[in-house]
Chains A and B, each alone.
Chain A
């Protein structure tokens, strides 16, 4: 172990900028601005986040990379030039980018926790491509830095697709019209950054066993509780 400069979670907003998203991009941009404001109001949480924004249609545009949002005046504005919805391109970009980013932060002396992806889409991917296999690689924890993916269905989203993208069914959401997307993502950001400190019981307990039998000579503590 080297010196530890800090504890960080890389977070990625991956936004669908395909033609079908055009009617809701204004709402998405308002959501990103709301997320930025909310994180600035949570300085302890914001300090632990390095933020990237990727827009995708048939290809992927990196709009922001590993930014400390406390030093950014505003988040990038999403825009659509039409085109399809290649989930495969989006997941392939993450498959390459996330391990590189984690390594970059670790090389700079930070302790890096599991990255989080906020995937925003109307849930209508190109029908002629296999994105599920790339998604499986991306989320396979035995292969490397698999992120938690929270999927947000925007507009008339296909709920089944959104469920398939999220890494846990509790991380899958569809939007109620008028809901603030930024506020929803902010709750996730805060919960994830808090989890750095909030230790939990390890699921990988190895050979550790719960003590269930009263040991010989045991004495109750009477002056503590």
Chain B
């Protein structure tokens, strides 16, 4: 739990003054700390700029070495990642891509620099499936760091959501009339059921599932239409979806009232908590537009898309981009942005055909 959530009002101050001492540490800088302590990079280095190296938006075209991270502004110091904790295998990076008659798909999920540094697994995940009707079904999830096994929660939520939407399509539901509350409820209950199984609980416990597997989720369907691609989706938490249109404009598909206070917070509403009023969002992807669906590890640094991150993706998200190229792009390095990142990109066939 973050300090944001531990912080309380002045109630505790009325209690007897039993103040915990701070303990003299061992000699030298402390190497241990609270849960989630961020260790020093194992091998800090700032590689010197190479003569003649392009700067600005062109940086992706000629990185100092072929697979070095794309560096924007001041990058994160380079270091060798620690192995991820946990008993099940969780790769640092996944990527995938394919085309159908109507869509081209690229997706990638990369472990954030913070998790590479502190030995946590990648807590994001993504899943896609092509329905027999030609519809693309997708899900992107961001496990809540405050939950111990949230990476499993993200995986379970993605796969359950794709499975449930696919089943509804199989049953003949129209894509614009999918039962989204049912989709979210199934994903949420999957966390509850699996938590009971993992912990050996005699009965299902939603609160225990929230502590173990809480995750955000954005899931939806992309349907070929005469105008391009119709998108319908729902979201729980702060993962997002955008249309990249006109070459450079990022427009959010999810239109929720902005609830920003005077300072930012990393607290999110997440599954297995489901909004009482489930609202779906729709958009049309046409012409050379692209649909982007991603976690806040991408959405945060993207901002409104007018900065270096937006320019980088606007320039390089061409239909010719290889899946591993998207993973490389997504692993850009810019200091203070060290969360896991996941991004799904979908082009309509019209954009693929129009490419040079």
Contacts and interface: CB of A to CB of B under 8 A. Distances in A.
B321 interface: no
Tell me which of A116, A174, A194 has the highest count of chain B C-beta atoms within 10 A of its own C-beta.
A194
B5 A1 contact: no
Given A5-B307, A195-B2, A211-B185, A221 B159 contact: yes
Given A3-B310, A176-B24, A208-B236, 10 more contacts: A4-B301, A42-B39, A102-B263, A171-B7, A195-B36, A198-B2, A201-B146, A208-B273, A208-B276, A209-B276
B77 A43 contact: yes
A145 B263 contact: yes
Interface in A189-210: 190-210
B23 A176 contact: yes
Interface in B2-37: 2-10, 12-13, 15, 17-25, 29-30, 33-37
B128 to A, nearest CB: 16
A6 B336 contact: yes
B182 A215 contact: yes
A195 B338 contact: no
Nearest to B205: A212
Tell me which of A1, A170, A184 has the highest count of chain B C-beta atoms within 10 A of its own C-beta.
A1
Interface string A133-156: 000100100001100100011000
A172 B13 CA distance: 10
28 contacts: A42-B40, A43-B44, A44-B338, A48-B336, A112-B264, A114-B7, A116-B3, A159-B18, A163-B19, A178-B24, A183-B29, A186-B30, A191-B33, A195-B4, A197-B114, A199-B268, A200-B4, A200-B144, A200-B267, A203-B267, A208-B269, A211-B188, A211-B271, A215-B182, A218-B193, A221-B156, A225-B152, A225-B197
A159 B193 CA distance: 46
Interface in A44-101: 44-45, 47-48, 99
Interface stretch (B206-214, B225-233, B281-289): B206-214
Contacts of A198: 2, 36, 145-146, 266
Contact of B29 (A34, A111, A179): A34
A112 B10 CA distance: 24
Tell me which of A163, A180, A201 has the highest count of chain B C-beta atoms within 10 A of its own C-beta.
A201
B155 A167 contact: no
Interface in A100-117: 102, 109, 111-116
A8 interface: yes
A41 interface: yes
B37 A199 contact: no
B337 A7 contact: yes
Interface string B181-194: 01001101110111
B273 A191 contact: no
B49 interface: no
Contacts, number: 299
A171 B34 CA distance: 13
B6 A159 contact: no
Interface string B59-101: 0000000000000011011000000000010000000000000
B176 interface: no
Interface string B151-173: 01001100110010001000000
Interface string A1-40: 1111111100000000000000000000000001001100
B331 interface: no
Interface residues of A, number: 90
A6 B176 CA distance: 38
A130 interface: no
B118 to A, nearest CB: 8
Contacts of B33: 186-187, 190-191
A219 B163 contact: yes
A6 B300 CA distance: 9
Contact of B10 (A7, A136, A207, A214): A136
Contact of B2 (A5, A174, A200): A200
B300 A7 contact: yes
A160 B268 CA distance: 34
A209 B30 contact: no
A113 B145 contact: no
A152 B192 CA distance: 41
Contact of B41 (A44, A136, A193): A44
B44 A102 contact: no
B267 A201 contact: yes
A195 B207 CA distance: 22
A192 B35 CA distance: 11
Contacts of A148: 3, 7
Contact of B5 (A160, A162, A201, A213): A201
A173 interface: yes
A178 B21 CA distance: 12
A164 interface: yes
A170 B265 CA distance: 20
Nearest to A116: B3
B268 A202 contact: yes
Contacts of A34: 29
Tell me which of A37, A114, A214 has the highest count of chain B C-beta atoms within 10 A of its own C-beta.
A114
B30 A139 contact: no
Given A112-B264, A221-B159, A221-B190, A194 B7 contact: no
Given A164-B13, A199-B144, A152 B22 contact: yes
